[in-house]
Amino acid sequence: MRFLVVVVCFLCCCYSAEENKPIQTFVIPHSHMDVGWVYTIQESMHAYAANVYTTVTEELSKAADRRFIAVEQEFFRLWWDTVATDSHKKQVRQLVKDGRLEFIIGGQVMHDEAVTDLDDEILQMTEGHGFLYETFGVRPQFSWHVDPFGASATTPVLFALAGFNAHLISRIDYDLKDAMQKNKKLQFVWRGSPSLKEKQQIFTHTMDQFSYCTPSQLPFSNSSGFYWNGVAMFPDPPKNGVYPNMSLPVTKDTVQAYAKTMVENIKQRAAWFRTNHVLWPWGCDKQFYNSSVQFNNMDPLMKYINQNSKEFGVTVQYATLSEYFQAIYQSELVWELRGSEDFLPYSTEPHQAWTGFYASRNVLKGVARQASSQLQAAETLFTRYRISFPDGPVAKDWALDKLRALRWAVSEVQHHDGITGTESPKVANMYLQHLMQAAMGVDELLAALFLLPHNLNIPSILDSRYHRKGVHQSLEQHVIAYNPLAWNTTTIINITVKFPTAAVFDDDGQPVPAQIQKSAHSNVTYDLFMMVELGGLQHRKYLIKFSEKLCSGKSKCGQTYKAKGVLFERRNIRDWLKTGRRLLPVLNECYKLMFDQDTNLLHSITDLQVKRTVRMTQDFWEYHANGDVKAGPISDNYIFSANSSAVRAYKAVEMEIIPGKIVTEIRQLFYREESDKDYTYSITTRVPDCFGRRLQCHRLEQTYSLGPLHLNTEVILRTSSSLKNNQTLYTDDNGYQIMQRTYRNFTNNTLARNYFPMVRTAYIEDDLSRLVLVSDRAHGVSSQRTTRGHAPSSVIKPTLWMMLGSISATSKLYQREAIELQHRPVIMPIDQPQRPLKVENPRGRSPVRSVVLPPNLHLLSLSIPGWNYSSDHDVHLSHIHSGKDLHSEPDYDRVLLRIMHLFEEGEDPELSKPVTINLKDVLQGIGEVELLEERSLTGTWNITSLQRWKWRTADTLETNNKRCWSCGDEAFTVTISPKEIRTFFIHFASRNF
């Protein structure tokens, strides 16, 4: 449990919105079980988590009025698969059927909301929801987001699209929560998306100052409050069964004191809400591992309160979350509306801004996103394979096992103490191990899908080896590039090789434009840049011919350009007396970048489309953070606490420019001290040479490295520009929508409270231009005066793409650019450099047919989930309740398809319009679509049967839930409106074409 309790006293007489009625209290038993934090998942299962579900199942079965809510599905699924007996499973099914055990949220984890990506939030919910629906026929309809460090506006949108009726949050700014409590505004209707409006509005309950834990300060007992089972023990439970901090049992001598304390707390809470219904969470971190002790003490306490309800003015009952929200819904009050603003960043008190975790464990953040991208690529490739070659040699069960392992690993790290970087080192290692092991398994799957022959009539991709006549037979290597996006792309890929000379050919034997140069990170390797053209969801094979000798002519090198660098003298900042005198230009069709030879820093960028020059500098600065606990809050994995403004983190800069015909690379090395041999920071900027090619010239790719860092420092990459942005910054919420971040002054901690999470995108703008950065992982960003920066830590090498242009031009680009960075082509070397085995003429292999969506639509998912349940809910329930053997084989014929509209309403004159497509036509490159059914976001609801609660607001609008299947008369035609995510089950015909 990681929050501060602020004690506020109110007069007990101010307890009810309806003075003549007793306060109706909904006691909701729960256990908050972090999927990793201080202890690993395995340690938690051993110490307490398994016992929670074992003992809760047994105790709920003893009394019909008892309730419990289960939140994090990873622990429940582990218990169900490895611990639960047949008797336990039978009891659970009955408890779920009776509504006494309720699954809340239903995802694998309670995901973080600040630094998680849209793709991964949907994945982890889909994983949990699929299991629950297949196993029990239940579909979670309420959230319990009590512990993420701030609340995103995207989360309620996703929950609404998944079919939820109400949303519950807790961690918002302390001062805002205090104001909402006093004004009885802790409950509201949230319209998280400005484009979807009422289509996704959801009732939201904010927990009061006590958050999700029962108050623990009891004057007559010890500090564990209403937790009679005490505190969980690691690694092993005590042999005598006596746990630390076990509260006094409820007896005839203590029941009155317990009742008085509980009633006073209930009345205090009631004063903060508009109805006379009080949600009283009973539980906390790692509770209910000995549920018999818990319920056997609470039962007589609640009985005593109800027997004296007239005196107390309070009634109590065990309840699930749905029972509480049902009571609120039936009150038929008109609720205040909240727009698309979020609750980020989050502060617990004036000097504790939880903005440090935006950058904590940056390596883990990067690995998690990379694994997610790899999973998405493998899902699409396996889906194509299954549809085209259902009897191919890649075993479907083996393939699905590989995919499920990575789905699980990517899902679990989305936990609010996972990707946030707020976990212990051993838990971080656990996440990394799970991700890397599962990623290796998916690498094996990708190799099999690429390399194995699909059937006897179609040869393996390895069978098409060839050699051009007249080319010296040197070492050769084959590489496959796969485009996992449903857009055609022409892009540059980079392969590390060990030879100074290379020629590249495509699968038709044609030379491919390429460039080779010495690596920026190694003296013994080379960077080989290749320009590839790939259709949507298409892969191609490339042949690389190496030579240990330099090229002597075009016939031997193909179109490969050997690039050489120009090294500039190291510049010490103490000599920066006059700058801007010697500017060196680097140009392409979009930009002119000017580098200052007096400083070796970027000086300016000219947008050649509008002929505007923006002064711009990039370098590294650092905050000296508080590391003394006695001096106040320290900067740690959660909190950012700087002692003063940032200072320059280097004293000298070197620069090397490598002009090229594919890309020009600028390498800047920053030295902490003038005499240092090794650099501490670096920026590598790649400017694509697009003249006469179909490459996108607006994309400036940057990779930067940091570390090792000094203790108690927070380092930023500072991008200073001449744009007059009035300290207003724009960042994305989970890669879904852009939020305006206006700089605010606070009495305390203004610097830290003006950092915001950037998941994919951040930009600043003035009236004429916009400067955009998109990233391959989450960072913290801020606009402090005229600067903006990222606050990562440790030795890391993130990638950024930078764009400068008019607001209209960048509006058309940044969403797609962020996705193209996240889902770059998958590059797979399929052999080692070797002598050719045989000489053949090129085989004319038909390339895989491409799948292409309009530029404002994104293929969010194309996968075979494998869950086996009937699309007809009544049929599925009858199967579950039949009592027959419920074991079923995975469904390999059902394909899950999600398509997302990238643009906000009104963002672009053309691209923001609704888009009508025929899915049969769009997907014909994969196969013939035979059946199409629209589903909820996680697939468990048929959209036609999903009827969400309609909460009353002052401007209640009639929500149009009807979807436009056919805006013409043609079947399989759907219209997707701005920011919509539409989900479908698709079945393809058994034979293609």
Catalytic machinery residues: 147
Distance, in Å, from the CA atom of 15 to the CA atom of 272, rounded to the nearest integer, reads 8
Identify the residue whose tokens are 């002692």.
Answer: 643
Which stretches does DSSP call E strand in 470-548? 475-482, 489-497, 501-505, 514-518, 526-534, 539-547
Three-class DSSP labels, 47-97: HHHHHHHHHHHHHHCCCCCCCEEECCHHHHHHHHHHCCCHHHHHHHHHHHH
Distance, in Å, from the CA atom of 544 to the CA atom of 528, rounded to the nearest integer, reads 10
Identify the residue whose tokens are 């429940």.
Answer: 76
What DSSP element (H or E) covers 422? none
Q: How many C-beta atoms surround the C-beta of residue 209 within 10 A?
A: 20
Tokens of 254: 């203590």
Distance, in Å, from the CA atom of 690 to the CA atom of 941, rounded to the nearest integer, reads 47
Tokens of 24: 């109706």
What DSSP element (H or E) covers 557? helix 554-557
Q: How many C-beta atoms surround the C-beta of residue 980 within 10 A?
A: 21
Specify the pairing of strand 277-282 against strand 23-29.
parallel
Whose CA is closest to 754, among 644, 636, 647, 640? Answer: 640
Residue 945 contacts residue 935 (beta carbons within 8 Å): no
| Helix-helix angle 255-270:291-307, to 10 degrees | 80
Whose CA is closest to 266, among 216, 333, 316? Answer: 316
Tokens of 99: 């509504």
Residue 703 contacts residue 631 (beta carbons within 8 Å): no
501 Cβ contact partners less than 8 Å away, ≥ 6 residues apart: 516, 546, 547, 548, 549, 550, 551, 556, 557, 560, 562
Q: How many C-beta atoms surround the C-beta of residue 766 within 10 A?
A: 16
Amino acid at 446: L
Q: How many C-beta atoms surround the C-beta of residue 964 within 10 A?
A: 13
Cis? peptide before 235, omega within 30° of 0:
yes
C-alpha separations of 524 from 240, 833, 863, 970 in Å? 62, 16, 41, 60
Tokens of 164: 């939820």
At residue 801, the 3 state secondary structure works out as strand
Whose CA is closest to 590, among 721, 691, 494? Answer: 691
Question: CA 198, 200, 206 angle in degrees (round to 5)?
Answer: 100
Tokens of 160: 């609404």
Tokens of 524: 């013994």
Alpha carbon 279 to chain centroid, angstroms? 30
- Spatial strand order of the sheet with 737-742 comes to 566-572, 652-658, 663-671, 681-688, 700-706, 799-805, 770-775, 761-765, 728-733, 737-742
Tell me phi and psi for residue 81, to 5 degrees: -85, -25
| Concatenated DSSP letters of 870-920 | -SSHHHHHHHHTT-S------BSS-EEEEEEE-S-TTSSTTTTS-EEEEHH
What DSSP element (H or E) covers 718? strand 713-721
C-alpha separations of 636 from 461, 630, 796, 818 in Å? 50, 14, 18, 29
